[in-house]
Amino acid sequence: MTISCKHGIRLTAACALSLSAGWSADNACAQAGSARLEMQSEHVDIRRIPIAQLNASLPGDARLALFAIADRPGLYVMHAPSLTEQGAMFSRVVALFERRDMPHDRIVTMAAIATHARRFGTDPAGLTAGNNFSAVELAHFFDLAHQQRLELTPGERTLQRVVVQMGLIVERDGNWQARSTRDFLITIPGLGPAPGGEMIDAPVRAAILSHELGHWQYFSNDAYAHACRSFWWHELSYAERAELTRQLEGMGYDPSDRIVIDEMQAYLLHTPARYMPFADVPGPAGVDIAKIRNKLQKTVTTASR
């Protein structure tokens, strides 16, 4: 997720790819973060709670916390200790599935990810604001790493341990598989400073959570997802589709329909306005974001009746 805020934080989608030499062995901060994350992952319980209790159950400190949402079967939530540690786990997963101009059939090196991030003018220490991946995608990442004989980073090894513990993926006959095609993991960062001097405070974290839960709705609710896809193809003009795609590409997202439709609905319907990165473009070929959002809301509301 990309969050823009006129009143403070701006975490670009390109930051999702931004890991560089900061993860190398000579970086004491990276080493300490990886060690803390690994230690916490060995002693963390999975709390089973209803979704209404999720916000109140999130830690107020830099702690790894795992949740299974009791009244949303298949939904799992990870609260990472910080943006840095979240990025250590997910940067190459994000690159594989979501990012523009990155291969989607193989896992790239950390150096390639850092180079890609710099193309967007971001600090290579920047990270994702939030993540969402199906268990099928997570299993595919680890299976592909095995096929490539790729050494996992410390953060990726921690992620693998956590998702196995949560029961999202299993190893059978040397292959990684999803336990269920309906399982879905979202992740959000802990409170505290972000790269560049910004701050993840409670409102920002709540916005990230809302956005990622929007992706869960798109993944788990077939009628809702169909309404969003129908809206994209039949109610938006070609110029509106092109402009929204252009803006998402500018944030680093892959321009495929699979990505842009899902991101469109998550930003327009599930992200507070002050953090929403879409911008109006005047003129006959432009876009009116508020108008598009209202039309999309009407479409999905009608579909749910």
CA atoms lying within 13 Å on the CB side of residue 3: 33
Cα 139 to the center of its chain, rounded Å: 16
**Run of H or E residues at 189:** strand 184-189
CA atoms lying within 13 Å on the CB side of residue 270: 20
Within 10 Å of residue 137's Cβ, how many Cβ atoms?
17
CB 128 within 8 A of CB 87: yes
End-to-end alpha carbon distance in the chain: 29
User: How much is the pLDDT for 15?
Assistant: 41
User: How much is the pLDDT for 44?
Assistant: 83
User: How much is the pLDDT for 289?
Assistant: 97
User: How much is the pLDDT for 120?
Assistant: 63
User: How much is the pLDDT for 20?
Assistant: 34
Question: Which residue from 97, 61, 109 is spatially nearest to 82, judged by alpha carbons?
Answer: 61
Q: What is the chain's length?
A: 305
User: How much is the pLDDT for 136?
Assistant: 98
* pLDDT per residue of the chain (305 residues) written in tens, 0 to 9: 766 554 434 444 334 333 333 344 334 555 666 777 887 787 789 999 999 999 999 999 989 999 999 999 999 999 999 988 998 999 999 999 998 889 999 999 988 888 877 776 654 444 468 999 999 999 999 999 999 999 999 999 999 999 999 999 999 998 999 999 999 999 999 999 877 677 899 999 999 999 999 999 999 999 999 999 999 999 999 999 999 999 999 888 999 999 999 999 999 999 999 999 999 999 887 899 999 999 999 999 999 88
User: How much is the pLDDT for 70?
Assistant: 98
User: How much is the pLDDT for 305?
Assistant: 83
Range list of H helices, the chain: 28-41, 54-57, 83-98, 110-119, 135-147, 154-165, 202-220, 222-230, 238-250, 257-270, 289-303
CB 3 within 8 A of CB 275: yes
Give residue for tokens 């990810």: 113
Q: Hey, CA dihedral for 29, 31, 35, 41, is it positive or negative?
A: positive
Question: Which residue from 23, 3, 25, 24 is spatially nearest to 13, judged by alpha carbons?
Answer: 3
d(CA 300, CA 279): 22
